Structure 1
Amino acid sequence: MAPHHIRKYQETDHKRVQDLYSQGMVEHIPATFRHILKLPQTILVLLGVPIALLLVSGSWLLALVSNVTLLVFLWLLARYPWKKYVVICLQTDLADITKSYLSAHGSCFWVAESWGQVAGIVGALPVENAPPGRKQLQLFHLSVALEHRGEGLGKALVMTVLQFARAQGYSEVVLNTSILHPAALTLYQSMGFQKIREYFPDKISRLLDVPTIRLMYSFPSAQEAGR
């Protein structure tokens, strides 16, 4: 296992952080595409449209072209939400990480450095509209470079957020993930996060049947106080 250490974000990390985040998001496109292909409505369209065209026109070529066109469309559909989210994040909180995460008390952004290179990232911001009596911190943008997967960086970064939250007096840490991130979901749940709800944040996610999963980690003191 390569040696690594976790430290606060510095301005010199900016480009690497943005690149690492963007690459991590793009990796989800193939999984989304495979998920779409397994949907019953997709199978029906991929079988029904070419057969209908073949019966009407008698052309195998037209049927084949229609299937290829449909597959290209589905790939673009799978690509759209991830590309859109990346653009939004790069233009908002990740455009000025120091201002977004390091200029106020109770938030932070960390990088995991391995052999002098940023190999993982994670950020945390307070939840503005937390339930009454609960102080929540939200984990954002956990990402580990592909070549550094399996080295424990993801777990170390999540643990850093939990330790920070406890030190800052937060009662809970929350985050969002999806069914398309099974490895991340397994990691979070193995560290004590509990699923509290599933929902579709927009029409595209509902169309693709990709719900967002809300997870929460409650510190023991908060759990005991709620009993």
Structure 2
Amino acid sequence: MESVCREFPGLRSSMAPYRIRQYEDSDYEVVRTMFGHGIKEHAPAGYIHMLKCLQTQLLFLGLFLAVLAASGSLLVSLLALLLTLIGGWFCIRSLWTDYVHQSLCSDLLDIRRTYLEAADSCLWVAEVEGAVVGAVLLREHRGRGIGRALCRTVVRFTQECGYSAVVLSTSMVQYSALQHGLPEGLGEVPIPPRTLGRGCLH
């Protein structure tokens, strides 16, 4: 099936020239590497987000009091709490790592078949001075409007395909970036983040 992706070279930043173009096979490794690094770098923020949750704080408090009551030792209680915090970090990091591994072995294993040959699917990259710096996610070159340009590219593509709404999803640690990246004038309806932060464009 011939790809129906569009290239939008006119989407450029006044601060630095960039181009939004369709994914090419030569981008395979850089897109996969960028995805892996981009997802994993949010593990610390995800862990801090978990620690800020009231349920987590109550759980740690209950653990501390239970160990204190059973052992009668403040040192043992603090040690148990510390070990739990360390274990929680490894669990969170493992979840992000497993997600990256699963994605690299599924939809990102054959990018062309998944995103370019499938109906109503596509993948674009942002290119600055000949280097790919963004795709679905951005690792560097932030603050130059590239994310907004990528959003506009997706919205324009889906409008041409006849869809009336687009749901943009991100992790809870990137919700503010999603809000700032939503194109203006498209009837955006922000949805408060739970597991994912989402914005619906009509």
TM-score band, normalised by shorter chain: 0.7 to 0.9
2:167 matched to 1:215?
A: no
Contact 2:179 2:199 (8 Å CA) reproduced: no
2:189 matched to 1:194?
A: yes
**Structure 1 stretch 103-112 or stretch 156-165: which is displaced more?**
103-112
| CA-CA distance at 1:50 after TM superposition | 3.4
| CA-CA distance at 1:165 after TM superposition | 1.9
Using a 3 Å threshold, how does the CA distance of structure 1 residues 4 and 173 change in structure 2: closer, same or farther? same
Using a 3 Å threshold, how does the CA distance of structure 1 residues 54 and 105 change in structure 2: closer, same or farther? closer
| Identity %, equivalent residues | 40
SS in 1 for 2:108: coil
Task: Give TM-score scaled by structure 2 length.
Answer: 0.79
SS in 2 for 1:7: strand
SS in 2 for 1:107: coil
Structure 1 residues without counterparts, runs of 5 or longer? 122-141, 199-209, 219-227
What is the CA–CA distance in structure 1 between the aligned matches of 2:74 and 2:191, rounded to whole Å? 50
> Partner residue of 1:75?
89
Contact 2:147 2:181 (8 Å CA) reproduced: no
What is the CA–CA distance in structure 2 between the aligned matches of 1:159 and 1:83, rounded to whole Å? 30
What is the CA–CA distance in structure 2 between the aligned matches of 1:143 and 1:120, rounded to whole Å? 6
Contact 2:148 2:183 (8 Å CA) reproduced: no
What is the CA–CA distance in structure 1 between the aligned matches of 2:182 and 2:148, rounded to whole Å? 11
What is the CA–CA distance in structure 1 between the aligned matches of 2:189 and 2:151, rounded to whole Å? 14
Residues 62-89 of structure 1 show CA distances to partners (whole Å, capped at 9, x for unaligned) of: 2332122111122123224322322222
Residues 86-107 of structure 1 show CA distances to partners (whole Å, capped at 9, x for unaligned) of: 2222111111111111114432
> Partner residue of 2:11?
none
| CA-CA distance at 1:143 after TM superposition | 0.5
What is the CA–CA distance in structure 2 between the aligned matches of 1:44 and 1:171, rounded to whole Å? 43
| CA-CA distance at 1:178 after TM superposition | 4.0
1:43-82 superposed matches below 5 A: 43-82=57-96
> Which has the bigger relative contact order, CA under 8 A and spacing at least 6?
2
> Partner residue of 1:31?
45
SS in 2 for 1:181: helix
> Partner residue of 1:143?
137
For the aligned residues, what is the CA RMSD?
A: 2.4
Question: Which structure has greater strand proportion?
Answer: 1
SS in 1 for 2:20: strand
| CA-CA distance at 1:176 after TM superposition | 2.5
Structure 2 residues without counterparts, runs of 5 or longer? 1-14
What is the CA–CA distance in structure 2 between the aligned matches of 1:76 and 1:64, rounded to whole Å? 19
| CA-CA distance at 1:174 after TM superposition | 2.1
Contact 2:39 2:100 (8 Å CA) reproduced: yes
Aligned length in residues: 186
Q: Which amino acid aligns with 2:173?
A: L
| CA-CA distance at 1:214 after TM superposition | 4.3
Aligned partner (choices 118, 133, 136) of residue 132 of structure 2: 118
Residues 123-158 of structure 1 show CA distances to partners (whole Å, capped at 9, x for unaligned) of: xxxxxxxxxxxxxxxxxxx2112x311111101111
Contact 2:64 2:80 (8 Å CA) reproduced: yes
> Partner residue of 2:170?
177
Q: Which amino acid aligns with 2:189?
A: Q
What is the CA–CA distance in structure 1 between the aligned matches of 2:156 and 2:80, rounded to whole Å? 54
Task: Give TM-score scaled by structure 1 length.
Answer: 0.71
